[in-house]
Structure 1
Amino acid sequence: MGFSEVKRITGETEIQLSLSLYGTGKSQISTGCGFLDHMLTLFAKHGRFDLTVACKGDTYVDDHHSVEDVGICLGMAFAQALGSCAGIARYGHIILPMDEALILTAVDISGRGHLEFDLQIPTEKVGTFDTELVEEFFIAFTRKSNVTLHMKQIAGKNSHHIIEGVFKAVARSLNMAVAIQDAYRDEIPSTKGVL
């Protein structure tokens, strides 16, 4: 439990990804999309996840396939690394400030992939990155990780700060949720006995 590797090849992308849930925040990220590289580096650091991502995608078309498929692979890796979920806290949440932006995220490692996305990103792009892809990334991640994720923008007018705040907040919330509870190390955190 705690480590996984994913390799996924389609007609649009070729991705190799490894994830350690109980790491130190080390990362080596190369997606072909500089802004996504930056966000995943932040994600690894703030979640204390060790993460490597190598993606070759059709970015000559646009970044959509690469961003979505990296989200798919990260979600798959997350689910695999969790295994049975025995001993985890299951829930995590944070209200995170990023300069003028204030972001709330809450996570339930429920076995049911669901995203509540309540962000008002004011610009269509940050540099060359299409900001609509933030939602696409997290839809892909939640579907494949079987995690329920709520994100809400409480304040903020700078698109970069809002998005950066979200990636940091999601990482912090996930870090709390995957934390092993020593007193419950062999228990599944559900009355059903399975997540």
Structure 2
Amino acid sequence: MILRADQIEQLLSKPKDRRDPIAITPQPVFDDEKRGAASIDIRLGCWFQVFRQTRVSHFDVYDPSDEAPSEAQLTKHHYVPFGKDYILHPRAFVLAVTLEWIRLPSDVAGYVIGRSSWGRHGLIIATATGVHPGFTGCLTLELTNVGEVPITIKPGTTICQLFLHSVDAGDPNLVDRSRFIGKRKPTIGSIKLDDVAKKLSLPML
């Protein structure tokens, strides 16, 4: 069941009533216009991560060797203070981060989608980013300008929507333990072959 904004407000206002509380800092704005909505607005943070101009011919995301370029070699972080602009040019791609620090309990999950007002200007935000029970940290957003003109974005602006829904409560110890837990800056992470993919990659006999 998707939680309405007023239900989320109630959960946030009474953290001591739950053994495993939800937390969103800074708290969303809950006014009369938004209390009946099925989502809450999430704001753009100050950190951005862009890919460097590099001589690497391609990204081999499966290369486990020590010679593979590190994230620091491939990307760089930019801090944009509140009140300053970040210009996203046409066909540019950048990772950003939410202003909010989010903690979900073991019985709540969520997903992020862009705001249509931004999408109509050519800004694509995330790709249905899933937020698993037990997640703690700032969310990484994937921003792309698919329009024909540059777009100005400012930290602190409402940039996307977070939908939250209840899930059957399970063991609090069996929650999301991904490598993205606890992040305050955007990160590209890594892609690893699971056991099935490794077997499928073996030479045919």
Q: Which category describes the TM-score, using the shorter chain as reference length?
A: under 0.3
**TM-score scaled to structure 2, two decimals?**
0.25
Q: Which protein has the larger Cα radius of gyration, Structure 1 or Structure 2?
A: 2
Higher helix proportion, which one? 1
TM-score (norm 1): 0.25
